[in-house]
Structure 1
Amino acid sequence: MNFDEKLVEILKGKFDYEQSPICATPSGNYFWYRKRQEVIKLFKRNLHLFDLNQTEKSAPYLFVDVGCGESIDLFLIRQFLEKHSSGWRLIGLEAEPTALEVANLKKKYYNVDNVDIIACDVTKNLPFKDGEVNVVYCSEVIEHLIDPELFIKEIKRITKPNGYLIITTPNEPNVFQGAYWSRNRLDRMRAEMQAMKEQSQKVNIETENVFLHGHVSLKTISEWDNTLEKIGFKIVDRGRGAVTYGATPFYDNAWILGGRFLLEAFLDLLPRQWVCNLSDQLIGLYRLEK
């Protein structure tokens, strides 16, 4: 198989996705656009916390994206960080084979020497020493794990004392999901989560099987804060995600979409601490307490 054939094979899933209604949905695309913008704003507001002048200059400042997917966020964050310091080393961990291939192609395209993409089952021991990592980034991963607390404890193990964790995950149920408050809907959601725990997609990494699940661990922002604090991560700052994911014809209706954007704009005028809990997503920066 030549390179062109291999490239088409790698990107087939991506091409198919781009032809699907899910990709074309403006409401769904806004959800991901806003998440990435809010993550960059977290870095901007807290850049002093990552000042390399306050760390040992002999070693690079290590940033690890656990579950990096196609590395969209990883390279976006790298672009921002490189404007402020050249002392970063960035590593992306991913299990899904096609996403790994795409991430490695991006590394070749950008021709960077401070980024590495590693095939890794992130549900097991992460390939780092105790207290080795300065910043851990984990976006839309933890809700797919059957035992998220065990995963957070492993992140704690690899994070330096007073190091940082940036996490994004669904905030469910939230106040804009009124149907979730009904007993029938809550029971149905629990049943769906249980069914996803029993079903999984199997992928293979270096002869080892890895099982990928759907959204099997859903909590509210306050519940995640409590879970993280119990393990040792204290909230430092947070961003506000979109009020809803959308990605259906109902949410893409011009009137609904226009009204949603007006609501998003209004919420942006209010103090962040008032409105973060209204979003469909937790976007948080946490410090590992000594």
Structure 2
Amino acid sequence: MSELRYDGRVAVVTGAGHGLGRRHALELAARGAKVVVNDLGGDRSGSGASAGPAQEVADEIKKSGGEAVANPGNVATPEGAESIVQTALDAFGKIDILINNAGILRDRSFKNMTPDEWDAVIAVHLRGSFLVSSAAWPHLRENGYGRIVNTSSPAGLFGNFGQANYATAKMGLVGFTKTLAHEGVKYDIKANAIAPVAWTRMTEDLLPADFADRLGVEQVTPLVAYLVHESTQDSGEVYTVGGGRIAKIFVTEGPGYGQNETLSVEDVRDNWAAINADAPMTVHNNAMEQMGPLIRQLGS
């Protein structure tokens, strides 16, 4: 089988100064992509800023014979997001690939979480992915091509103690991804999301130290690189990945219960088992499909 290459493609990777983003940027560059390495350069809580991390990764790529430029813009501001995409246009003339990877952590139990801690995490993960995607979207549409990967999390899909802010942002990215997939069909723009499990500075307090070697970032990047390749036609999907394992995450619906008469509280109580039945499951491709059983019931 031939090697997957990205020659002639321009990729933007946010949060690429460390961890997963760095690995994504290095891999794409090694396979021929021209890369914009974005990183604000703060700590994992989002405090501080430095152009150093992004520049170091860009220099590493160039030292290996690749093409890269650094951008220390803040994904959480419209100006920062626009500057990231503009850097790609100025340096390489276009943008083909966007990997929304930038993120911070401000973990705290919900009873102690402050509005500032909530807003800061939502701003980077969810708003940041929106802003950079929004800046890139007109160019992807105009070129009739694009590949986007958003970085969700198992915490978003299933919840996690002390991460109400983070989990909310990460689940929001699932809906964001699925909507981009629908709106990108006409323009060959594919959007997918990953829910990675990897040992990084973001997760070192959450994952057992014994797993550090087995959960390296290099176990996540191959999926990301595949999803942003021009041959990939899947879109609107979510994949969990880590430690050498990849699996598709499905949003499913059970058979449920319905009646044509107006439901009462007692109807809910008396049919609770049917409402909670988990088989057979149905996977819907869009919101209208999900409403299909209800529409059919109303028409009967």
**Comparing both structures, which one devotes a greater share of its residues to helix?**
1
**Comparing both structures, which one devotes a greater share of its residues to strand?**
1
**Common topology (TM > 0.5):** no
Pairwise TM-score range, normalised by the shorter structure: 0.3 to 0.5
